[in-house]
Amino acid sequence: MKADRDKTSLELIDVVVHYGHLQALYGVSMYIRKGEIVAILGPNGAGKSTLVYAIAGILPITKGKIIFNGHPINGLPSEGIVDLGITLIPEGRLLFARMKVLENLELGAFRWRGKRKKIEIKQNLNQIFELFPVLKERKSEMAGTLSGGQQQMIALGRGLMSDPELLLLDEPALGLAPIVIDELMDTLVRLRNERGLTILLSEQNAVAALDIANRVYVMGGGKVVMEGSSEELRSSDVIKETYLGNSVK
C-alpha cells in the first residue's frame, strides 16, 4: 500500500540490512503516519530490533531508503537523526545505574545544549515529572535502586527530554509485570493523544501492542509477513494462534 506522503512521518522502502555477511532484513517496506502508534510484532530473530536500530542510524542499511518527513535519512549518523526529531528507547533501558534519576533524565536533553536556555530544559523536565510523579519524588536517588517499571519511566522520560517527533521503542514491556505494562501502554496512548507524538513500537507482547496500535506489521525471517489495522490482525486466526493464544476468542 502506497503511503500518503503528506501525512507520512516515516517511510521505509525495500530496506536491506546485513550483519557482516549475514543478511538480517530482506527488502522491508512500511510507513507510519503522523500521530499514529504503529506496532511491529514478531518472535525473537524476526528482525524487529534490527529495523528500529536501522531507523535510528545505529545500523547502516545495505540497500533501500528510509525517509523521514519527506527527506532521506539513511546514511546520517545517529546523532544527526536525533537532531531531526527521532529518538530510540532501546531494549533493556540502558540507564546509568550509579547516576541519579535526575542526571539520567538530563542526559536526554543533550540535543538542546547550546540551543535552548536552561529554563526551557527545566520546563521540559517538569513535564516529565507531571507524567511520572514518582520520578520527581525519587529524582535524587540512584537510578539502579528503582523498580523495573520505574526504570522504564526514566528511559521513556529521558527519550522525551529530546522533544522527539517520532519515538522508537524496542521491547519496552520486556520483564515488566502485567499491571506495569498496562500503565506503560496507557502512557504511550496519552503521549499520542495529548502531544501528537508518533510512535513505532517493536514488541513481542502482542496483546498489549494490539490494544494501543493504530496499525500493525508482523515480521518473520527479516521480512514483513502480515500488515493491517489492529482490528484486522486481532481477528486473524494466524495471529490468534501464534501470538494471542486463549487471550482473544
pLDDT of residue 77: 92
Q: Are residues 45 and 59 in the same domain?
A: yes
Q: Are residues 152 and 243 in the same domain?
A: no
Give per-residue pLDDT as tens, 39-96. 999 888 899 999 999 999 999 999 999 999 999 999 999 989 998 999 999 886 677 6
| Backbone angles phi and psi of 12, in degrees to 5 | -110, 135
Q: Are residues 81 and 106 in the same domain?
A: no
Q: Are residues 172 and 155 in the same domain?
A: no
Q: Three-class SS of residue 185?
A: helix
pLDDT of residue 115: 56
Asked if residues 239 and 217 have their Cβ atoms less than 8 Å apart, the reply is: no
Q: Are residues 188 and 79 in the same domain?
A: yes
Residue 246 has pLDDT above 60, yes or no: no
Asked if residues 42 and 21 have their Cβ atoms less than 8 Å apart, the reply is: no
Q: Are residues 193 and 180 in the same domain?
A: yes
Domain stop point among 123, 146, 163: 163
Give per-residue pLDDT as tens, 173-219. 888 889 989 999 999 999 999 989 999 999 988 889 999 999 999 99
Domain stop point among 163, 182, 198: 163
Query: Which one-letter DSSP state was computed for residue 242?
Result: I
Q: Are residues 143 and 247 in the same domain?
A: no
Give per-residue pLDDT as tens, 108-137. 877 665 555 677 778 888 889 999 999 999
- Domain span including residue 153: 94-163
Please state, in angstroms and rounded to a whole number, the distance separating the CA atoms of residues 128 and 153: 9
Q: Which residues, 6+ apart, have CB-to-CB distance to 80 below 8 Å?
A: 57, 73
Please state, in angstroms and rounded to a whole number, the distance separating the CA atoms of residues 148 and 175: 8
Q: What is the mean pLDDT of residues 5-33?
A: 90
172-to-114, 212, 225 alpha-carbon distances in Å = 31, 14, 22
Instruction: Report residue 114 as a C-alpha cell.
Output: 547550546
Asked if residues 136 and 101 have their Cβ atoms less than 8 Å apart, the reply is: no
Q: Are residues 176 and 237 in the same domain?
A: yes
Angle, vertex CA 172, rays to CA 166 and CA 177, nearest 5: 145
pLDDT of residue 111: 64
Q: Are residues 1 and 80 in the same domain?
A: yes
CATH number, domain containing residue 175: 3.40.50.300
Domain stop point among 163, 188, 218: 163
